Amino acid sequence: MRYGSVCSGIEAATAAWHELGWKPSFFSEIEAFPCAVLQHHYPDVPLHGDFTTIKGDEYEPINLLVGGTPCQSFSIAGLRGGLDDDRGNLALEFLRLAQRTRPKWLVWENVPGVLSSNGGRDFGSIIGGMVEIGYGIAYRVLDAQYFGVAQRRRRVFVVGCLGNAASAAAVLFERHSLQGHPAPRREKGQEVAGTLESRASGGGGGPGAGTDGAAAGYLQPVTAHRMLSMGEYQQDEVASAMKARDYKDATDLVAFDTTQITSPKNYSNPKSGDACHPLAAGAHPPALAICSAVRRLTPRECERLQGFPDDFTQIPYRNKPADQCPDGPRYKALGNSMAVPVMRWIGTRINIVEQITGDNNGR
């Protein structure tokens, strides 16, 4: 399978699909740091700038076009300019490129807010445009937490297949889900919450069961957990214990931690406002305070949350070696990326459909 990628970012698609034997014909990206990441990892793949200028015969013919056009104009956190915003209009430019290159498959990704932008008319225009140029389509909201990473990340994925809506639907929808069997709902907890001690030794019954506390966003013991790319955890220090001085501001990516301290202060006569009030030395010797602090998730942790290999974004940048690569561009690039395991699942499903239909060349 040959594919072209636009709005490539740091190429979650290629990180997901290289093990399927798929080959990229071209990337397209305009941001400086993601371009540096792409050139570092894939120096032999043509890197185009503005994808709206790609001609139909400029690169090797493709069987699939993939892209996650900018989401800011559709996000409920933004001004929601929709297709009237230049960034939102890139979704239509994606369709124009599809019309010029005519791949068999389309894969397009965006935030769930696109479904309600402009009363749903923007999304209707996008999928209507796909149908108009000859693609049968299916769309579905997929959440990365169900694909082996420790974060909730819901995104809309549209799959188009040239002249064949049934094949598009077969990619995104498993037969079991089409038979009226929705995913199991989370049940409200009925058990007594575990103590800090029990969580430290055995994991406890915290709300992040099955995920790391840093990702689940709750207080957990000081023991660090190493987040692996596919959601496995083991005792292995990655980042130092969190301290108050690590806190930057409320916009930081944060994780929580707790620590127990023995207070040197005499609390036999506590006063309102004391750190451990109303603990008293007479009642609870020695006084015990549970102090929480926050810190940023490290870039490596963010890579794992998105399913990338460790240090994938730690590259030589702006004449500095990889070990001096700044964190800021890494956070931004990872935050804008698709989740690798979700893209791997979509690619695997397309392979299965190709095998079933007997069209292994992707045409």
Q: Is residue 146 part of a domain?
A: yes
Per residue in 238-271, pLDDT (tens digit) is 443 333 333 344 344 444 444 444 444 444 455 5
Domain of residue 120, residue span: 2-181+312-357
d(CA 168, CA 3) in angstroms, rounded, equals 16
Q: 279 and 233 in one domain?
A: yes
What is the DSSP track for 163-191? T-HHHHHHHH--HHHHTT-PPPPPPPP-S
pTM passes above 0.75: no
317: Cα separation from own chain's centroid = 23
Per residue in 105-136, pLDDT (tens digit) is 999 999 998 898 888 888 898 999 999 999 99
Q: 333 and 293 in one domain?
A: no
Q: Is residue 186 part of a domain?
A: no
216 — pLDDT class (breaks 50, 70, 90): very low
Q: Is residue 18 part of a domain?
A: yes
Q: 205 and 83 in one domain?
A: no
Q: Is residue 190 part of a domain?
A: no
Q: Is residue 283 part of a domain?
A: yes
The pair of three-digit structure tokens given for residue 145, joined into one six-digit string: 């937490």
Alpha helices by DSSP H, listed for 86-195, are 90-101, 121-132, 165-172, 175-178
Helix (H), strand (E) at residue 355: helix 340-357
Please, what is the average pLDDT of the chain? Answer: 75
Q: Is residue 362 part of a domain?
A: no
Contact 31, 86 (CB under 8 A): no
CATH of the domain at 165: 3.40.50.150
Closest CA to 144 of 156, 133, 159: 156
d(CA 315, CA 137) in angstroms, rounded, equals 38
- Look-up of token digits 């916009």: 251
Number of domains in the chain: 2
Single residue among 298, 323, 340 that ends a domain in this structure: 298
Q: 132 and 269 in one domain?
A: no
Q: 348 and 221 in one domain?
A: no
Helix (H), strand (E) at residue 296: strand 288-296
Single residue among 298, 325, 346 that ends a domain in this structure: 298
276 is a catalytic site residue: no
Helix (H), strand (E) at residue 226: strand 225-227
Q: 135 and 44 in one domain?
A: yes
Q: 251 and 114 in one domain?
A: no
Q: Is residue 12 part of a domain?
A: yes
**Residue 359 pLDDT > 70, yes or no?**
no
d(CA 278, CA 363) in angstroms, rounded, equals 72
Q: Is residue 170 part of a domain?
A: yes
Q: 152 and 56 in one domain?
A: yes
Q: 98 and 41 in one domain?
A: yes
Catalytic residue among 7, 71, 161, 302: 71
Closest CA to 61 of 9, 127, 105, 8: 105
Q: 149 and 73 in one domain?
A: yes
In this prediction, residue 177 carries a pLDDT of: 57
- How buried is residue 97: exposed, middle or buried, by Cβ count under 10 Å (0-12/13-18/19+)? buried
